Structure 1
């Protein structure tokens, strides 16, 4: 048996996903579908197509995020393989057939990732948000479409529920599964992951993920990015920009309080040089975000404003995450004896 687990917040995209799955039931005669309703309010029951009703079980989550919702799903699953799908993907017409072929594997293969396609505009350059979403196509072991042996999930205790967002929790699980001796491979099935509409200020909200990075740093030490096969980030540059800005502001404040003289002039010079450093760093960040985009007035304005705000936000969230996880010792990982949540 194959178990499909779909955590959902009841977004309209869920209906599109369920309709696509309903049309492929013939390829998965013994499958079960577990919908984990992770809404934190009482907004009614999820609508399930009649053709899926006999295969579907709806579980009530706690509104604690995707890691907790997926744990609830796979622990209720009966299949040898558990396939995690996001509620905003669209499986290809041959997805179910290729899924069966992907999972016809033996040995120590504990997980098989599906291929993800992110459609981008054909008539203009993609926005910053669209380019960020397109990165899912190259992501490793992302749960937009990721299948795990249930025994592999049980061996490592599932997802770490200390990761409250859809950010890093799937990569961290994959790292623990590989450390337990399982192999992870890419399959041939494919899903499409559309770019959902978002506020032009979405890049500010996504900086909360820096708190999750702080937890990874606590758990895995300095080599956490290398160990988890994550690309290098911009945090060192953000630190430099924020430091320059802080020195500039402090220098101006002290200069305003000081008496005329050599020290006041020196403070002015320090503040000026630090201000130039802040401006140069912010301009470089804005340039690399504006250059590949559509360069409309709205997009350029958004990039300029957010490029000034992201560095202090990113560092603030990192410090907040570091403080909140200060009691977590290195190596305090989820295990089969300590499943799921951890403080």
Structure 2
């Protein structure tokens, strides 16, 4: 048995540290460490991982993101996780740990990263049997971001009769850097959700163990806001006022839900208030864009 390591990268500073850990760590060495730089092609991590595993020689392909931190004995633990697995096991997922501040409550962005610790089948550290990848056809390159492409592949691998197990190795995923509008930019994933629905069916969220989405709630809020503006333009003042109150109330409730579990600092409260007013409209726009773009998508 042998394995290869594939790392898609956009040039994060941690890449050198990651490679050093793979070279110097204890345990059986991989056949090769394949780094696929996506900064020039901009085709996304799905395409980068496909390029990597198709060049790999190992019986197993361990996908590792360029922003994770590996333990010194990661190679040894990976080997223990995949050695002797029965033929019907197509993949082994690491246990992901996201370190959060110990002296305060996490921010909205930090809680978002922390969700990776309980997510199914994320490729921050995921080893696939090469045969399973080949039978499933690899990652679907219609997913342009590091979002949903890993879960969609896992569903296809399992549909072909393979099991996915969770290994004992532990990998650390630091909190992602965030800006004021990170949560707004993250709404681009709604377009990928539209593709996911086309490929995996209307019950795809339950299949991947995901929490219910907020799109329906965002649609109601957005409709109330847009109708308020329209009625105001038509001088239907009472109707416009009532709709504006609905929009404001729903927006305030959404903001309160996001503020409550956080550190509640002045900066975080302002960030949550502003982005909560913008997110519903942006989320609906990206979902509509995705539905149009992927209307003819087939598995």
TM-score by structure 1 length?
Answer: 0.84
1:203·1:306 contact (CA, 8 Å) conserved in 2? Answer: yes
2:52 is aligned to 73
Equivalent-residue separation in structure 2 for 1:305 and 1:30 (angstroms): 48
- Say which of 180, 192, 198 aligns to 1:218: 198
Change (3 A) 1:30 1:277: closer
1:32 is aligned to 32
1:19 is aligned to 20
2:132 is aligned to 152
Secondary structure of 1:142's partner? coil
Instruction: Within 5 Å, give how 1:39-58 maps onto structure 2.
Output: 39-40=39-40
- Residue 30 of structure 1 and its aligned partner are, at CA, apart by 4.7
Deviation string 1:115-135 (CA, Å, 9 cap, x unpaired) is: 111011111111111110010
Deviation string 1:129-159 (CA, Å, 9 cap, x unpaired) is: 1110010000100000000000000001000
Deviation string 1:69-112 (CA, Å, 9 cap, x unpaired) is: 00000000000000000001011222211111100111300000
- Say which of 289, 295, 298 aligns to 1:326: 295
2:89·2:164 contact (CA, 8 Å) conserved in 1? Answer: yes
| Ranges in structure 2 where 5+ consecutive residues have no aligned partner | none
Instruction: Within 5 Å, give how 1:1-343 maps onto structure 2.
Output: 1-24=2-25, 26-40=26-40, 62-104=41-83, 105-255=85-235, 267-328=236-297, 332-333=298-299
- Residue 219 of structure 1 and its aligned partner are, at CA, apart by 2.2
- Residue 198 of structure 1 and its aligned partner are, at CA, apart by 2.2
Equivalent-residue separation in structure 2 for 1:29 and 1:314 (angstroms): 44
2:98·2:174 contact (CA, 8 Å) conserved in 1? Answer: yes
1:66·1:166 contact (CA, 8 Å) conserved in 2? Answer: yes
Deviation string 1:149-201 (CA, Å, 9 cap, x unpaired) is: 00000001000000000000000000110011000010000111111322121
Equivalent-residue separation in structure 1 for 2:30 and 2:101 (angstroms): 38
Equivalent-residue separation in structure 2 for 1:2 and 1:242 (angstroms): 49
Equivalent-residue separation in structure 2 for 1:288 and 1:237 (angstroms): 13
- Residue 270 of structure 1 and its aligned partner are, at CA, apart by 1.6
Equivalent-residue separation in structure 1 for 2:261 and 2:42 (angstroms): 37
Q: Is the deviation greater in 174-183 or in 222-231?
A: 222-231
2:31·2:57 contact (CA, 8 Å) conserved in 1? Answer: no
1:94·1:189 contact (CA, 8 Å) conserved in 2? Answer: no
2:152·2:200 contact (CA, 8 Å) conserved in 1? Answer: no
Equivalent-residue separation in structure 2 for 1:30 and 1:238 (angstroms): 46
